[in-house]
């Protein structure tokens, strides 16, 4: 089983996350996409966090019944700061992928890759795949700090969807439901997340 790892806060998970996983898996021949919700990301805070358990529940709902996707809760189970190197160790031990797992990195994160815990070891443990992000849509894909390491650049379609915008839309009563899966809509509304109110 060729595994592709896609991590993030998923606050909330949206169709852009799912399409990115599907498209990168297709381009590079992976047959399983492992979504890994973080507990505490090392390089940013999680704004308007409904809690790790809620974010994990939404990820599971978003991919329920889709054989391409799997969900890994090791970062939430470990607690503390979520380091990718620990997650890849866990995936190699428990998922037992064939060959190196792929690791998707947004090109907005490449410049800081050298500050990741054990970044050099991580680069040798994974197939690094740099994906285009909406914030960088008008620029060439950035692979600066990955140049010493083997890596590949994805040709993914950029969908102008962000969790930040979805949260703002929910809080202000603007349209948002078509940006996430139906089960995630139900979860957000039933739990009153992100300031949701039935207008």
For the segment 86-111, the average pLDDT, to the nearest whole number, is 94
Which pLDDT belongs to residue 172?
Answer: 96
Per the CB < 8 A criterion, the answer to whether 155 and 27 are in contact is yes
Sign of CA dihedral 106, 155, 88, 38: positive
Q: Is 197 within the bounds of a domain? A: no
Antiparallel, parallel or unpaired: β 32-37 and 151-153: unpaired
Distance CA 120, CA 47 (A): 29
Distance CA 26, CA 20 (A): 10
Residue bearing the bigger pLDDT, 191 or 110: 191
Q: Is 48 within the bounds of a domain? A: yes
pLDDT digits (tens, 9 = 90+) for 3-62: 999 999 999 999 999 999 999 999 999 999 999 999 999 877 889 999 999 999 999 999
Q: Is 127 within the bounds of a domain? A: yes
Around 96, how many Cα atoms within 13 Å sit in the side-chain half-sphere?
1
Residue bearing the bigger pLDDT, 112 or 79: 79
pLDDT digits (tens, 9 = 90+) for 123-177: 999 999 999 876 555 555 555 555 577 889 999 999 999 999 999 999 999 999 9
Which pLDDT belongs to residue 199?
Answer: 64
Q: What is the CATH number of the domain that holds 38?
A: 3.40.50.620
Distance CA 7, CA 126 (A): 14
Distance CA 51, CA 47 (A): 10
Helix axes 182-191, 52-63, angle to 10 degrees: 150
Which pLDDT belongs to residue 198?
Answer: 77
Displacement of CA 78 from its chain's centroid (Å): 18
Which pLDDT belongs to residue 62?
Answer: 98
Q: Is 169 within the bounds of a domain? A: no
Q: Which domain holds residue 74?
A: 3-160
Q: Is 186 within the bounds of a domain? A: no
pLDDT-derived band of residue 70, with 50, 70 and 90 as boundaries?
Answer: very high
Q: Is 166 within the bounds of a domain? A: no
Q: Which residue reads 């996430």 in tokens?
A: 180
Which pLDDT belongs to residue 17?
Answer: 97
* Threshold 0.85, pTM exceeds: yes
Q: Is 188 within the bounds of a domain? A: no
Q: Is 40 within the bounds of a domain? A: yes
| 3-state secondary structure (DSSP) of residue 70 | strand
Distance CA 114, CA 92 (A): 22
Q: Which residue reads 């470990």 in tokens?
A: 78
Distance CA 100, CA 110 (A): 20
User: In the chain, how many domains are there?
Assistant: 1
50 C-beta neighbours (distance < 10 Å), count: 19
Which pLDDT belongs to residue 42?
Answer: 87
Residues 6+ apart with CB under 8 A from 136: 107, 108, 142
DSSP type of residue 135: G
Which pLDDT belongs to residue 44?
Answer: 77
């Amino acid at each position: 089983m060729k595994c592709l790892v896609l991590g993030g806060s998923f606050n909330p998970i949206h169709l852009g996350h799912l399409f990115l996983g599907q498209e990168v898996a297709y381009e590079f021949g992976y047959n399983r996409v492992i979504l890994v919700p973080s507990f505490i990301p090392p390089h940013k805070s999680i704004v308007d966090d409904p809690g790790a358990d809620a974010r994990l529940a939404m990820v599971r709902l978003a991919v329920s019944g889709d054989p391409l996707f799997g969900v890994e809760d090791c970062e939430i189970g470990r607690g503390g700061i979520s380091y990718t190197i620990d997650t890849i160790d866990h995936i190699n031990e428990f998922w037992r992928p064939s060959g190196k797992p792929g690791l998707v990195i947004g090109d907005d994160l490449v410049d800081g890759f050298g500050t990741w815990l054990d970044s050099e070891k991580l680069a040798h443990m994974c197939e690094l795949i740099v994906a285009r992000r909406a914030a960088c849509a008008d620029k060439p894909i950035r692979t600066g700090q990955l140049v010493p390491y083997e890596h590949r650049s994805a040709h993914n379609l950029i969908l102008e969807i962000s969790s930040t915008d979805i949260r703002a839309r929910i809080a202000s009563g603007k349209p948002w439901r078509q940006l996430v899966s139906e089960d995630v809509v139900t979860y957000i509304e039933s739990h009153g997340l992100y300031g949701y109110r039935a207008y």
